[in-house]
Structures are given as C-alpha cells and as structure tokens.
C-alpha cells in the first residue's frame, strides 16, 4: 500500500511545484502503480479538497496501463 505524499528528502520532479497537490496527486497515484508496482493507493481525503474525479482522470489519462491492470480488480484506490 502507498499513501499520498510520504516524507521525501526533496520534492519529486514530477510534482511541478513546491507542494504536491491537485493534478500532481493523480500523477502520484499513477506512478505508485506503474513505477513502484504498488497494488493499493490510499487516497487521502481528510481535511482537504478531494479530487472526486481521480478514477476518471486515471482511466482517461493512462488507458493502456489500466486496460492491463483493472482498477478494482488488479489495483485499488482506497
């Protein structure tokens, strides 16, 4: 399982700024699945504006990945 924004020594290059937020959170979830081989990403919804469209964004932006790894069967967002 991966959680959002683990403590890092520095901001990752894909974050696009000094804070991981907004669209970068969708990239972070995809990279956890595709680069790190994580099977479950815990989507942080506590105390902030949550992107309720994360599933739609993942499926539309990375269709090839999710055709081979079905969200909800092979990989999960909890």
Per-residue pLDDT of the chain (78 residues; tens, 9 = 90+): 776 665 667 777 777 777 777 788 888 899 999 999 999 998 876 656 667 788 999 999 999 999 999 999 999 998
14 φ, ψ (degrees, to nearest 5): -75, -10
Which residue segment(s) compose the domain that 44 sits in? Answer: 2-77
Alpha carbon distance 25, 5 (integer Å): 8
Alpha carbon distance 67, 19 (integer Å): 31
Q: Which residues contact 71 (CB under 8 A, 6 or more apart)?
A: 55, 58, 59, 77
Alpha carbon distance 46, 3 (integer Å): 12
Per-residue pLDDT, 4: 65
Q: Which residues contact 7 (CB under 8 A, 6 or more apart)?
A: none
| Number of independent structural domains in the chain | 1
Per-residue pLDDT, 31: 92
Per-residue pLDDT, 58: 95
């Amino acid at each position: 399982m991966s959680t959002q924004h683990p403590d890092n020594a520095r901001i990752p290059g894909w974050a696009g700024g000094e804070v991981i937020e907004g669209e970068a959170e969708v990239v972070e979830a995809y990279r956890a699945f595709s680069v790190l081989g994580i099977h479950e990403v815990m989507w942080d919804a506590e105390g902030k504006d949550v992107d309720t469209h994360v599933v739609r964004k993942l499926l539309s932006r990375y269709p090839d990945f999710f055709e081979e790894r079905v969200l909800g069967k092979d990989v999960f967002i909890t």
